[in-house]
Amino acid sequence: MSIFVDETTTVVIQGISPTSQGLFHGLRNKAYGTKVVGGTNPKRGGEVIEGIPVYSSMAEAVKDTGATASFISVPPRGAADAIIEAAEAGIAFIVCITEGIPAQDEALAYNRLVREYPGTRLLGPNCPGIISPGKCNIGITSGDIALAGGPVGIVSRSGTLTYQALHELSQQGIGQTTCVGIGGDPVPGTNFIDCLAAFEADPETKAVMMIGEIGGSEEERAAAFIADSMTKPVAAYVAGVTAPPGRKMGHAGAIISGSQGTAQAKMEALSAAGVFVTKNPTECGEKMVAIVRGLG
């Protein structure tokens, strides 16, 4: 199986135009086999762009297509409103790749989702998206590096390392059920625990590869969840061992403050929870290959 998205998922691209990144990546998703059924742009309603019908609003798009997911690639100033517009239209799964959204806007949008739209899941913002190999790809991950057939689930805060994790496994003939790039912004819509719980419940996922990074305490929370609730083996890598305190590294959330958020502290917490903690992404991939082959 897969988590969050599958071959039945239907997608609307929010912020589509002839020159938009949403169109570029949306067409790649469509070519992969994802059911892209429409796009939205208030100024282009009624047009058809590259075979994709355009609607003036998400409400119109959902009414006409019955879409279940949205792919948001709009400028930072409009991204939070786009998230809420999708939720108001009844979208169940929102992927927002937009980078640079003000943290206050992220927090306000997230809190509204929790309070008013509990049936809607947000992935991101500032994430690479999600791919269930052979079934559905929403976002900017290349389908060429993914391999269908399971049995590994991947969850990562780092976009680049999401791609490497897929590549490391695929090169060894180890398929993936779903790969989720949750992003590293301070207010993520979906976190490690959400994904770990979904992988634990998925009968086809036999093991999980987890990629963390410095900043915040999500990895420590994930470690506690793994210790209490996971029966499947987990291999992990935490980026940023040599990162200097007080300096942001990549994502807005990747910053060490005092003794909080260090790679070492996260690695120790994960190791204490029974996770196979590795020193680099390649070693993490090798460990996961060994785990899967050991499962028979």
Residues labelled as active-site residues: 251
DSSP annotation of 143: G
Tokens of 1: 């199986």
Taking alpha carbons only, the member of 8, 11, 70, 12 closest to residue 45 is 12
**Pairwise CA distance, residues 190 & 290, whole Å:** 28
- Which residue type does 201 have? A
**Pairwise CA distance, residues 85 & 91, whole Å:** 9
**How does strand 129-132 pair with strand 121-123?**
unpaired
Task: Tell me how many helices (H) and strands (E) the chain has.
Answer: 9, 14
Taking alpha carbons only, the member of 108, 114, 81 closest to residue 96 is 81
Beta carbons of 26 and 218 less than 8 angstroms apart = no
For CA atoms 131, 193, 4, 64, the dihedral sign is: negative
Taking alpha carbons only, the member of 139, 80, 138 closest to residue 113 is 80
